[in-house]
């Protein structure tokens, strides 16, 4: 009977030591002095939606309702000036080059939506716009490209999360207007 007790005790001890040894082997090795690459920061899924109106100047993000059925470009400009209190420059010489005139129709409507959406839809008429120094310019796409707008973005969160400034710069330059960057100074 004592023989059976010894076998049980030895079996229990063996099982205990085998379990401890496998747990030790399963643990990650302790930190060594060799450098390991830093873990990439996790990008959260939030926010899942960024409202473009938050990136627009306040005057262009204002919500309005208007019907321009059978109206001209000049009447649209008058509405922007009179009703929305915007300073608007209709660049007639640039528009004349693309054969667009203030009397041309711009049938459209705005239903409780930001003004910039109406302006964006002008591109279907071959028009472009830009907003600089609180002045809205309606012009040709070629003329608008001569007036790029600088929009600052806060990248502090990305830098704080461990992203490298040089890598961010490379990504930005590689994805936005590839041929427009001045490599000398940015």
Q: For 77-117, how does the pLDDT look when each residue is reduced to its tens digit (9 = 90+)? A: 999 999 999 999 999 999 999 999 999 999 999 999 999 99
Domain assignment of residue 166, yes or no: yes
Q: Do 134 and 75 fall into the same domain?
A: yes
Spans in the chain with pLDDT lower than 70: 1-34, 43-50, 183-186
Tens digits of residue pLDDT in 174-186: 888 777 777 645 5
Neighbours of 139 (CB within 10 A): 24
Give the strand pairing for 109-114 and 63-67.
antiparallel
Return the SS3 of 87. Answer: strand
Helix (H) or strand (E) holding 11: helix 2-26
User: Which residue is associated with the tokens 């059976």?
Assistant: 4
Domain assignment of residue 96, yes or no: yes
The DSSP line for 94-120 is HHHHTT--TTSB---EEEEEEHHHHHH
Are 8 and 16 in contact, with CB atoms under 8 Å apart? no
Q: What is the domain range of residue 182?
A: 152-186
**Average per-residue pLDDT for the chain:** 80
DSSP assignment, residue 72? B
Task: For the chain, report the end-to-end CA distance as a whole number of angstroms.
Answer: 88
Domain assignment of residue 178, yes or no: yes
Domain assignment of residue 100, yes or no: yes
pTM of structure: 0.60
Q: Do 127 and 174 fall into the same domain?
A: no
Q: Do 75 and 126 fall into the same domain?
A: yes
**Domain C-terminal end among 129, 145, 161:** 145
Cα three-residue angle 68-71-72, rounded to 5 degrees: 125
Return the SS3 of 51. Answer: coil
């Amino acid at each position: 009977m004592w023989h059976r007790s010894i076998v049980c005790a030895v079996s229990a001890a063996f099982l205990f030591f085998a379990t401890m040894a496998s747990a030790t082997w399963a643990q990650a090795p302790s930190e060594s002095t060799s450098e390991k690459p830093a873990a990439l920061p996790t990008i959260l899924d939030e926010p899942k939606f960024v409202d473009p109106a938050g990136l627009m100047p306040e005057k262009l993000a204002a919500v309005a309702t208007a019907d321009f059925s059978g109206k001209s470009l000049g009447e649209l400009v008058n509405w922007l000036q009179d009703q929305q209190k915007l300073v608007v420059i209709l660049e007639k010489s640039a528009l004349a080059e693309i054969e667009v005139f203030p009397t041309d129709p711009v049938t459209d409507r705005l239903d409780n939506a930001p003004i910039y959406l109406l302006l964006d839809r002008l591109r279907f008429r071959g028009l472009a716009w830009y907003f600089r120094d609180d002045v809205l310019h309606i012009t040709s796409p070629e003329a608008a490209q001569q007036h790029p707008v600088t929009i600052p973005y806060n990248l502090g969160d990305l830098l704080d999360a461990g992203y490298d400034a040089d890598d961010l710069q490379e990504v930005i330059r590689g994805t936005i207007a590839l041929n427009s960057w001045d490599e000398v100074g940015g």
